[in-house]
Amino acid sequence: MTIAITGATGQLGRLVIHDLIPLVGAEKIIALARSPEKAADLGVAVRAADYDAPETLDAALAGIATLLLISGSEIGKRTPQHAAVIKAAQANGVKHIVYTSLLHADTSTLGLAGEHRETEALLKQCGIPYTILRNGWYTENYTGSLPGAVQAGAVLGAAGNGRISSATRADYAAAAAAVLTGSGFENTTIELAGDVAFTLADLAAEASRQTGKTIPYSNLPSGEFAKVLTSIGLPDALATMLAEADVEVSKGVLFHEGTELSDLIGRPTTPLRDSVAAALK
């Protein structure tokens, strides 16, 4: 059984391959990469696979039994890109596609959800057994900016008291590896999120505790928060999208009550204190 992973050079893809090697052996794994030279250090065979170049996808999926389709990173282009991968999987007789979607994609009010809903529909129509992993937010989305927040003296956002059930990329990668190597997951959709939800005020409090400094959470109107993000170098469109997403977060769009992720990986999801410590070390 050969397992192929798209987006293998990305942060999540790398972690999935790391987890899969001891489970199935490197010889059963194929990294699919838009830029194969970036995958040379992964320790598995590499094939070129560009979502925008269908001919590469056809060759890349020859002989593959199980495919992890990690959602692409080019927002607005993803539905046709994912459709091209699914088409190549059909042409090559792939037996199982596992897809990384978004938490509660069917009802999510996040702008990002549309492409995931469209991809989920394509998967359900394609005739290949599928597993949809509806990943929540990465904790790293918040902890990545903590060193700057500590330096500036405040955590800024527009998420109010919204509770965030995030987990680390490593948690989601372990779940993907468990599904890719387990059985009984065909034609299922699994909501994956962290065990313990936090607010951005909780994040600021944990950063304060670990640094011994007083770092408050300052909640801004979304327009003001977008300006802050632009001022630190984010492109306007991305800054607006992130600030608008925060408003949805304030309404609970990233909250999840279940423990499907920790059940799947056989351990609790990474606690916020560990993620904060990793970001501040």
Ligand X SMILES: NC(=O)c1ccc[n+]([C@@H]2O[C@H](COP(=O)([O-])OP(=O)(O)OC[C@H]3O[C@@H](n4cnc5c(N)ncnc54)[C@H](OP(=O)(O)O)[C@@H]3O)[C@@H](O)[C@H]2O)c1
Binding residues for ligand X, rule: CB under 6 A, are 7, 9-13, 34-35, 38, 49-52, 70-74, 81, 100, 135, 137-138, 141, 169
CB of residue 214 to ligand X, shortest distance in Å: 28
> Contact, 103 vs 135, CB < 8 A?
yes
> Contact, 181 vs 266, CB < 8 A?
no
In the complex, which residue's CB is closest to ligand X?
Answer: 10
CB of residue 33 to ligand X, shortest distance in Å: 6
* Residue with Cβ nearer ligand X (6 or 222): 6
CB of residue 75 to ligand X, shortest distance in Å: 8
CB of residue 137 to ligand X, shortest distance in Å: 4
* Residue with Cβ nearer ligand X (141 or 181): 141
> Contact, 97 vs 117, CB < 8 A?
no
Nearest to 88 by CA among 35, 50, 114, 118: 50
* Residue with Cβ nearer ligand X (76 or 212): 76
* Residue with Cβ nearer ligand X (98 or 184): 98
Could you give the CA distance from residue 152 to residue 173 in angstroms, rounded to a whole number? 32
Q: What are phi and psi of 234, to 5 degrees?
A: -75, 145
* Residue with Cβ nearer ligand X (118 or 208): 118
CB of residue 15 to ligand X, shortest distance in Å: 8
CB of residue 72 to ligand X, shortest distance in Å: 4
* Residue with Cβ nearer ligand X (101 or 222): 101
> Contact, 274 vs 254, CB < 8 A?
no
Amino acid at 274: D
CB of residue 112 to ligand X, shortest distance in Å: 8
Q: What are phi and psi of 228, to 5 degrees?
A: -60, -45
In angstroms, what CA-CA distances link 31 with 43, 109, 159, 221, 277?
Answer: 9, 33, 37, 42, 31
* Residue with Cβ nearer ligand X (92 or 100): 100
In angstroms, what CA-CA distances link 91 with 53, 57, 149, 186, 232?
Answer: 15, 10, 49, 19, 45
Beta bridge partners of 98: 68, 131
